[in-house]
Amino acid sequence: MKAYRIFLTFIIIFKLGAGINVYAQDHEDQDKKEVEGDVVIKVKPAVKNAIFKGSQDIGYKLDVNNLYDEEQEGKFSYLIKTDLGEKVLEKSEDFKIGRKTKKSITVKIPPQKAGFYNLSFRFNLTQYDDTLHKVFGVDAETLKSPLHKPADFDEFWDKTRRELAQIPPQYKITLQHELSDADRKVYLVEMKSYNYLLIRGWLVVPKQSYKQPVHYRLPGYVVGLNPNYDTNHFITFNLNVRGNGNSQDVVNVGTEDYCYNRIQSKESYIYRGVYMDCLRGLDFLYSHPELGIDTSKIYVEGSSQGGTLAVITAAMDKRAKLLAIQVPLYSDFRLAKEVGLKYDKPEFPIKFFTRYINNNTDTSWDKIFSVMDYYDPQNFAPMVTCPVIMGIGLLDKFCPPRCSFSLFNHFASKKKEWFSSPDLTHEVAFDYYMLQNIWLGENFRLVY
Amino acid sequence: MKKIILICFCCLLLIPHKSFAGWPIGKYRDLFVPAFNYFKATDSWDANGKKIKGAPGTGFESFALNLFEGYGISRRLDFIASLPIVYQTSKFDGGSTKGYGPTDLTTGLSYTLLNSNYERFLSVQGSLITPLYNKNNPNSAIGFGSFGSELKLSYSGNIPKRILKGCYFNTEVYYRRYFAGDGPNQYGAFVFLGFILSKSNQITIDATAIKSVSTNRAFNNNISSIKDFSLIKPSVNFGHRFTRRFSMFVGGYYTVTGRNTAIGYGTNVSGIFHL
């Protein structure tokens, strides 16, 4: 039957077209940048997340597109170093590519031991000289990192929590008419936290007839959070811890000073109050079921500093049922310092601490560690038992991937998964958020 | 800001979809879809695809309740089961027949082979077809009466925003084999587009094509017994979400072209329950 054949052909073309479309979409942005008089190189790891198994070769495919109107000739080389800068392997070979042509190179590296490696591909050609930097991991889930947990760690935090409990929260919830709409109500939430500091957050409540799960978001490093309108499937609570966003009445320090503010002792360090602010925020959510909050379904989430704050919250307070973090800052801080000092030039946050030490002759890395050991999220990780999802960027110099995995591997959670974005720095790819949504649905048995 | 935009993109994925068979149901999620279907045919196409006007008072009419159940075993693997229960009558010159009862139970597993950014999914589904009736019983002539199996490949997901905003799709091709000596072997294709109109409303269009091949080429007024035929059937539906756990779709369809089968139209009403 002719009509049937036409229909079937249409379906097959549609399926093929859809596949091509997905491919085209992925490559569209890169293709736009292609201009004459350039060499465009696309690097793809053999496994999508660039985390290889210790038993397998490490593979990369490089697609080289010579847009010059003349042949390019010279050397192609690659260099592998550990994340601490130790040379592992170096290779160099002749390379030639004709004018306006494309060529693929397959790089096969022998299996490596568990760890993270910096990989540089260098092209030194007639008119083109460039180096492409990549990072890959091997057996990341087997990486071990010692905890540097002080003997009185638990006692210190128990005492701090008791002090927080003594402070009446004095919650104040103000409906923000100008920010609310037909679908949701927005509230400014104020409360007293550790040392009687006033902190604020934004609560967005979609108008629903049933109790709703809660997305409790904590802020990045000196980042002010605004009301979160992203979803109608969760109540969202964005808390600005002291010194962030609209919680800067008393603590209002610069971006650089924040990370070492009052770091002279573990008792005075800024993050003591910051960590308690996070727990106070959870106190607020748990004590206000009348706002439609399903207190059995609160998940805590954050990126960078927010990731660390989320870890601390889930570790110290079991009322947080799920933990979603991206690029967690300060993880395995001692290792982060070692890795960070190997970069060509120091990056945040190690750069700030280095400057602080250089400007204060009475301090040292050991003194910093003696305080940071109380605050390193890795030391809290064994206390986390709820399901966890973590996203990282492999080119992240603020939160080196090995440090994130040190943290991840210490989580006591039975259900934990990770996602890596090989081409991103201090962020994660779109796919991660899609996965996180699916993960949330599974763990909370949500019907969206 | 980037993250906000990304999370907004995720929302389309969370809108209830009619093409539930093509999408992963999701781990631990439970989907129950009862659907009522009415079909009526008076005319037919002959073996050459020529339209034959039915005699006055003749035709085929069917009322069917289809019960679909899907359960997400894991992120990639779903269990599916489908059971149609029918009441049908065939009127022809000099008489009529009727049949009723449960027809072919389909049970199977669907596995997501690939996903693209968790937005588009390529799935394979294998199913077993079990007849729940005795075809020799005159009141139970409601199918081929033999065991069968089906292999289906689906590609479904959100249509990229830059092509069509607020749309999703499902495409399927399948092969179905009934184990009786004269089969039939069936080759099917399905294409589906859903247009999100608002938070609660959507319109869907789809078309089904079936080619059924058998050595038994006889025409039967009871069209559920014809083994050698082909047809194309487009359909339009309107969907409304009443609650996050319950949506309904109402629609109609028409057999636009075919061979050795009835020219019919029908309507269906389905409910989607997320349990």
SS3 content of chain A, % helix, strand, coil (to 5): 30, 30, 40
Say if CB B149 and CB B127 are below 8 A apart: yes
Q: A219 exposed, middle or buried (CB, 10 Å; 0-12, 13-18, 19+)?
A: buried
Mean pLDDT of A40-54: 97
Has residue B217 got a pLDDT over 90?
Answer: no
**Reported confidence tier of residue A24, pLDDT bands at 50, 70, 90:** very low
B257 with A435: Cβ contact below 8 A = no
**Reported confidence tier of residue B11, pLDDT bands at 50, 70, 90:** very low
Please name the residue of chain B whose CA is at the shortest distance from the CA of residue A433: B7
pLDDT tens by residue, B161-177: 888 888 999 999 999 99
Q: How distant is the Cα of B229 from the closest Cα of chain A, in angstroms? A: 10
- Cross-strand pairs, A43: A62
CA-to-CA separations, A172 to A199, B124, B225, in angstroms, rounded: 11, 54, 71
φ, ψ of residue A291 to 5 degrees: the values are -85, 5
Packing angle, helices A401-410 and A333-340, rounded to 10: 170
Task: Please name the helix (run of DSSP H) or strand (run of DSSP E) that holds residue A443, with its range, or none.
Answer: helix A430-444
A1 with B230: Cβ contact below 8 A = yes
pLDDT of residue A15: 54
Q: A343 exposed, middle or buried (CB, 10 Å; 0-12, 13-18, 19+)?
A: middle
Could you give the residue ranges of the DSSP H alpha helices within chain B?
A: 2-10
Please name the residue of chain B whose CA is at the shortest distance from the CA of residue A427: B3
The C-alpha atoms of residue A304 and residue B61 are separated, in whole angstroms, by 64
B3 with A303: Cβ contact below 8 A = yes
Has residue B267 got a pLDDT over 60?
Answer: yes
Which residues are CB-contacts of A362 (< 8 A; sequence separation ≥ 6)? none
Ordered by where they begin, the domains of chain A are 39-142 (2.60.40.10), 153-444 (3.40.50.1820)
A21 with B13: Cβ contact below 8 A = no
- Cross-strand pairs, B105: B130
**Reported confidence tier of residue B5, pLDDT bands at 50, 70, 90:** very low
Q: Which residues of B touch A18 (CB under 8 A)?
A: 120, 155, 169, 171
Say if CB A408 and CB A328 are below 8 A apart: no
pLDDT of residue A29: 46
Q: Given CB atoms, is A435 within the 8 Å cutoff of chain B?
A: yes
pLDDT tens by residue, A367-422: 999 999 999 999 999 999 999 999 999 999 999 999 999 999 999 999 999 999 99
Please name the residue of chain A whose CA is at the shortest distance from the CA of residue B209: A4
Say if CB B24 and CB B75 are below 8 A apart: yes
pLDDT of residue A13: 52
pLDDT of residue B160: 87
Number of domains within chain B: 1
- Please count the CA atoms within 13 angstroms of the CA of A341 that sit on its side-chain side: 9
The C-alpha atoms of residue A203 and residue A180 are separated, in whole angstroms, by 11
> The dihedral of CA A22, A27, A32, A37: what is its sign?
negative
Instruction: Tell me the two tokens of residue A378.
Output: 């890795």
pLDDT of residue B271: 96
Mean pLDDT of B48-55: 90
Which among B13, B199, B232 has CB closest to A4?
A: B232
**Reported confidence tier of residue B237, pLDDT bands at 50, 70, 90:** very high
Has residue A344 got a pLDDT over 70?
Answer: yes
Has residue B16 got a pLDDT over 80?
Answer: no
**Reported confidence tier of residue A4, pLDDT bands at 50, 70, 90:** low
Q: What is the CATH number of the domain that holds B156?
A: 2.40.160.40
Q: How distant is the Cα of B27 from the closest Cα of chain A, in angstroms? A: 6
pLDDT above 90 as % of chain A: 86
- Cross-strand pairs, B191: B171, B207
Q: What is the DSSP string of B27-90?
A: TT-EEEEEEEEEEEEEEEE-TTS-EEPPPTT-EEEEEEEEEEEEEESSSSEEEEEEEEEEEEEE
Q: Residues of B numbered 109-138 whose beta carbons fall under 8 angstroms of chain A's beta carbons: which are they?
A: 116-120
pLDDT of residue A27: 46
pLDDT tens by residue, A127-139: 999 999 999 999 9
**Which of these, A373, A336, A447, lies nearest to A156 by C-alpha position?**
A373
Has residue A14 got a pLDDT over 60?
Answer: no
Mean pLDDT of B218-241: 90
pLDDT tens by residue, B98-151: 889 999 999 999 999 999 888 899 999 999 999 998 877 766 678 888 999 999
Q: Which residues of B touch A1 (CB under 8 A)?
A: 49, 211, 230, 257-259
Has residue A203 got a pLDDT over 70?
Answer: yes
CA-to-CA separations, A211 to A48, A207, A298, B11, in angstroms, rounded: 39, 10, 11, 20
Has residue B20 got a pLDDT over 60?
Answer: no
Dihedral, CA of residue A311, residue A315, residue A321 and residue A325, to nearest 10: 10
Edge-to-edge, what's the strand order for the sheet holding A58-66? A39-45, A58-66, A102-109
Residue bearing tokens 């084999």: B177
- Helices (H) and strands (E) in chain A — how many of each? 11, 17
Instruction: Tell me the two tokens of residue B99.
Output: 């049949």
Q: Which residue has the higher pLDDT, A444 or B6?
A: A444
A434 with B119: Cβ contact below 8 A = yes
The C-alpha atoms of residue A335 and residue A403 are separated, in whole angstroms, by 7
Say if CB A104 and CB A64 are below 8 A apart: yes
pLDDT of residue B224: 81
Residue span of the structural domain in which B55 resides: 2-274
B28 with A445: Cβ contact below 8 A = yes
pLDDT of residue A30: 47
SS (H, E, C) A116-144: EEEEEEEEECCCCEEEEEEEEEECHHHCC
ipTM: 0.80
The C-alpha atoms of residue A448 and residue A210 are separated, in whole angstroms, by 13
**Reported confidence tier of residue B10, pLDDT bands at 50, 70, 90:** very low
Q: Which residues of B touch A10 (CB under 8 A)?
A: 191
Q: What is the pTM of this model?
A: 0.87
pLDDT of residue B142: 87
Burial B180-196 (b: 16+ CB within 10 A, else e): beebbebbbbbbbbbbb
**Reported confidence tier of residue A448, pLDDT bands at 50, 70, 90:** confident
pLDDT of residue A230: 87
**Reported confidence tier of residue A254, pLDDT bands at 50, 70, 90:** confident
pLDDT of residue A97: 96
Task: Say how far residue A142 (Cα) sits from the centre of its chain.
Answer: 20
Q: Are strands B185-196 and B167-178 parallel, antiparallel or unpaired?
A: antiparallel
Which of the residues B71, B152, B171, B229 would you substitute to probe the A interface, choosing the one with the greatest number of A C-beta atoms within 10 Å? B171
Say if CB B75 and CB B45 are below 8 A apart: no
**Reported confidence tier of residue B12, pLDDT bands at 50, 70, 90:** very low
pLDDT of residue B118: 87
Has residue A166 got a pLDDT over 90?
Answer: yes
Has residue B18 got a pLDDT over 90?
Answer: no
A:B CB pairs within 8 Å? 98
Dihedral, CA of residue A240, residue A241, residue A244 and residue A249, to nearest 10: 100
Q: Residues of B numbered 209-238 whose beta carbons fall under 8 angstroms of chain A's beta carbons: which are they?
A: 209, 211, 230, 232
pLDDT tens by residue, A266-300: 999 999 999 999 999 999 999 999 999 999 999 99
Has residue A25 got a pLDDT over 50?
Answer: no
The C-alpha atoms of residue B8 and residue B166 are separated, in whole angstroms, by 12
A8 with B10: Cβ contact below 8 A = no
Lowest mean pLDDT among A87-91, A207-211, A270-274, B121-125: A207-211
A1 with B29: Cβ contact below 8 A = no
**Reported confidence tier of residue A3, pLDDT bands at 50, 70, 90:** low
pLDDT of residue A9: 60
Say if CB A364 and CB A264 are below 8 A apart: no
Q: Residues of A numbered 409-428 whose beta carbons fall under 8 angstroms of chain B's beta carbons: which are they?
A: 427
SS (H, E, C) A303-338: ECHHHHHHHHHHHHCCCCCEEEEECCCCCCHHHHHH
Q: How distant is the Cα of A27 from the closest Cα of chain B, in angstroms? A: 13
